[in-house]
Amino acid sequence: FCNDPKESHAAAVKRICRYLHQTRNKGLCFKPDPTKGLECYVDADWAGSWQDRTSTDPLSARSRTGYIITYAGCPVVWASKLQTLVALSTTEAEYIALSTSLREVIAVMNLVNELQSLGFQLSIDTPKIVCTVFEDNRSCLEIATNHRTRPRTKHLSVRLHHFRSHVLDQTIIIKHVSTKEQMADIFTKPLPRDQFIKLRNRFMGWDSLGERE
């Protein structure tokens, strides 16, 4: 849009500005929940940018990763980024997203353990990596928890399997969550208004405020 600006880009910018203006007095509300430890919601949108008119753009074939890492129910790390590898299926896109998010999770785990060793009183549960179930996303969970070579996934790079030892010793537990409860979905693609507001309010801590705009 920088090299070839269009009216559609201007309309998108105006919409963003209207949203920012209406939420100028809003921010993250941290309400620690002592019953929750370290959790991560991760999702992927497989080749979501691909269209016929962009089929010659290499970036349009890449999938998008989105994840939110929370501690005691409060968001501490979140990201939305294009994957550096071209995924050949929904399962592979989800597995790349899972691997990417777990790099951050493991770093946070090490940080919390270090703080504890220095005498800080922190409570931490086993991290729960919650992966949404889209179509064959159960295949992604199967790959992550059942470590054997499969004909369709043998090409996956070793760099994506770095977290397997944590799964084996159960310091990381991988579960699935319904699409409607997947907070990371908000970072991967446009959502219907009601679903966007629901996930936004949950992520920002606005649930108790009854925000609807």
Q: SS3 letters for 59-124? A: HHHCCEEEEEEEECCEEEEEEEEECCCCCCCHHHHHHHHHHHHHHHHHHHHHHHHHHHHCCCCCCC
Instruction: Calculate the average pLDDT of the chain.
Output: 80
Reported as a single tens digit per residue, the pLDDT across 42-51 is 999 988 776 6
The model's pTM is 0.79
Q: Compute the distance between CA of residue 98 and CA of residue 60 in angstroms, rounded to an integer.
A: 21
Tell me, what's the pLDDT at 57?
Answer: 66
Query: What is the average per-residue pLDDT within 44-65?
Result: 73
Beta-carbon contacts of residue 89 (< 8 Å; ≥ 6 apart): 46, 136, 152
- CA–CA distance from 202 to each of 91, 171, 182 (Å)? 27, 26, 11
Positive or negative: CA dihedral 139, 140, 145, 146: positive
- Is 133 in a helix, a strand, or coil? coil
What is the C-alpha separation between 110 and 127, in angstroms, rounded?
12
pLDDT in tens, 115-174: 878 887 776 556 666 544 333 466 677 677 766 666 556 556 666 677 878 888 888 888
Query: The dihedral of CA 20, 22, 25, 26: what is its sign?
Result: negative
Query: What distance in Å separates the CA atoms of residue 104 and residue 108, rounded to the nearest whole number?
Result: 6
